[in-house]
Amino acid sequence: MTSPDEPPPQEPQTEATLEDSTGPLGLSRNVRVLGLTSLVNDIASEAIYPLLPMLLASIFPKNAKLILGVVEGAADATASILKLFAGSWSDRTGRRKGWIVFGYTLGGLARPLLGLVTMPWQVFGCRVGERFGKGLRTAARDAIIAESTPPAQRGWAFGFHRAMDHLGAAIGPLLALLYVSIWPGPEHLRTLFLLTLIPGLAVVAILVFGLREPRRHGTAAVPFVWSLKPFSTNFRVYLLAMFLFSLGNSSDSLLLLRAGKLGMSDRSLILLWFTFSMTKSVGNLAVGRLVERLGARRLILGGWLAYALVYLGFGLASEPWHIWALFIAYAVFYSLTEPPEKTLVAKLVPGDRKGLAYGWYNFAIGIAALPASALCGWLYEEFGPLQAFGTGGAFALAAAVVLFAGVHNPRDEVSSAPA
User: What one-character-per-residue DSSP string does 287-300 give?
Assistant: HHHHHHHH-HHHHH
Do the beta carbons of residue 104 and residue 45 sit within 8 Å? no
Average pLDDT rounded to a whole number, residues 341-368? 83
| pLDDT of 68 higher than 70 | no
Percent of the chain with pLDDT over 70: 81
| pLDDT of 340 higher than 50 | yes
pTM, full prediction: 0.78
Q: What is the pLDDT of residues 174-216, one digit of tens each?
A: 888 888 788 877 677 788 888 999 999 999 999 999 998 876 6
Least confident range from 151-160, 208-217, 311-320, 376-385: namely: 208-217
| pLDDT of 32 higher than 60 | yes
Gyration radius from the chain CA atoms: 20
- Kindly write down the DSSP assignment for every residue of 205-232, as one continuous string: HHHHHH--PPP-SSPPP----S-STTS-
**Highest mean pLDDT, choosing among 8-17, 259-268, 298-307:** 298-307
pLDDT of res. 191: 85
Rounded to the nearest 5 degrees, what angle is found at the Cα of 347, between the Cα atoms of 345 and 353? 65
| Sign of the CA dihedral with 288 first, then 291, 296, and 302 last | negative
Q: Which residues contact 253 (CB under 8 A, 6 or more apart)?
A: 49, 52, 53, 68, 72
**Highest mean pLDDT, choosing among 143-147, 262-266, 332-336, 374-378:** 332-336
| pLDDT of 14 higher than 50 | no
pLDDT of res. 243: 94
pLDDT tier at 268 (50, 70, 90 boundaries)?
confident
Average pLDDT rounded to a whole number, residues 108-117? 85
Terminal Cα distance for the chain, rounded: 31
Q: What is the C-alpha separation between 60 and 149, in angstroms, rounded?
A: 47
For 36-75, what is the HEC assignment?
A: HHHHHHHHHHHHHHHHHHHHHHHHCCCCHHHHHHHHHHHH
Do the beta carbons of residue 366 and residue 79 sit within 8 Å? yes
Residue among 4, 29, 3 nearest 16 (CA): 29
Q: What is the C-alpha separation between 141 and 58, in angstroms, rounded?
A: 36
Return the DSSP state at 358.
H
Return the DSSP state at 112.
G
pLDDT of res. 10: 43
Domains and CATH numbers, the chain: 21-412 (1.20.1250.20)
Q: What is the C-alpha separation between 359 and 367, in angstroms, rounded?
A: 12
Q: What is the C-alpha separation between 244 and 300, in angstroms, rounded?
A: 14
Do the beta carbons of residue 144 and residue 21 sit within 8 Å? no
| pLDDT of 62 higher than 90 | no
